[in-house]
Amino acid sequence: MRPSISIRLLIAEHHRLFRQSLRVLVERERDLLVIAEAADGREAFDLAMRHKPDLVLMDIDMPNLDGVTTTKLIRGCLPNTKILLLAIHDEDTRIVTALQAGAFGYILMNVDQADLLHIIRAAYQGEHVLSPSMPDRFARHALAAVRQTGRDSHTLLSGLTDREREMLACAAAGWSNKEIADHLCVSIETVKTHLHHIYQKLSVGGRVEAVLFFLQDK
């Protein structure tokens, strides 16, 4: 018998076997209930609008509509629905893009079953979460920044020069160091130097955390 309150999930994954495996894993838990499955981003959006799930567990690389775009659409219409994105790689720009789109977590597909269930429950409670197996670098610092609601990002960012703010804006748009260098007609080493100064001024551990402070100020 299920408890009176269950976390209602939509699973969006284009590989049928993996999607079915996720459903079996989730539905072993008394407090978790899969209400729908989607095989592509468009179907995920349509089902989310129809069923209004508490949480969406979705592959970031979905056909028709990718996971990030689908996240933006769902969160725009259903701001109370939490979304966790599944991915193979822990690329910094993808983590930034996922969090910027409104995802509450970025989960590597090699995550342990128990950890995945913990992440689902934590996200439902409003926590931003990552796979425990993810390297302890920029990503974990980024989530620490999200949790620090008391910090005044505007005050911190006001200490940046116009050039530094411009570079940080480019980084927030997901540009690589080379793309920023080409756009501003400077060397890659100059970009790296400016970014290093930005991290020092903001007292952050790296690129993603700095970008999150920038986005919080928008």
Residue ranges in the chain assigned as alpha helix (H): 16-26, 41-51, 67-77, 92-101, 113-124, 138-147, 153-157, 162-172, 177-184, 188-202, 207-216
Q: Could you tell me the residue range of the domain that residue 165 belongs to?
A: 153-216
Distance CA 149, CA 2 (A): 35
Residue 193 included in any domain: yes
Same domain (yes/no): 38, 101: yes
Residue 184 included in any domain: yes
pTM listed for this prediction: 0.66
Same domain (yes/no): 17, 121: yes
Distance CA 194, CA 188 (A): 10
Residue 145 included in any domain: no
Tens digit of pLDDT for each residue in 189-198? 999 999 999 9
Which CATH number fits the domain that encloses residue 120? 3.40.50.2300
**For the sheet containing 105-108, what is the strand order?**
32-38, 7-12, 55-59, 82-87, 105-108, 129-130
Same domain (yes/no): 82, 181: no
Look at the chain and report how many structural domains it folds into: 2
Residue 110 included in any domain: yes
- 138 vs 89: which has the higher pLDDT: 89
Residue 139 included in any domain: no
SS3 29: coil
> Taking 80 as the threshold, does the pLDDT of residue 71 lie above it?
yes
Q: Tokens at residue 86, please?
A: 């599944």
Residue 142 included in any domain: no
- 178 vs 210: which has the higher pLDDT: 178
Tens digit of pLDDT for each residue in 112-171? 999 999 999 999 998 878 776 665 555 555 555 555 544 555 667 788 888 898 888 888
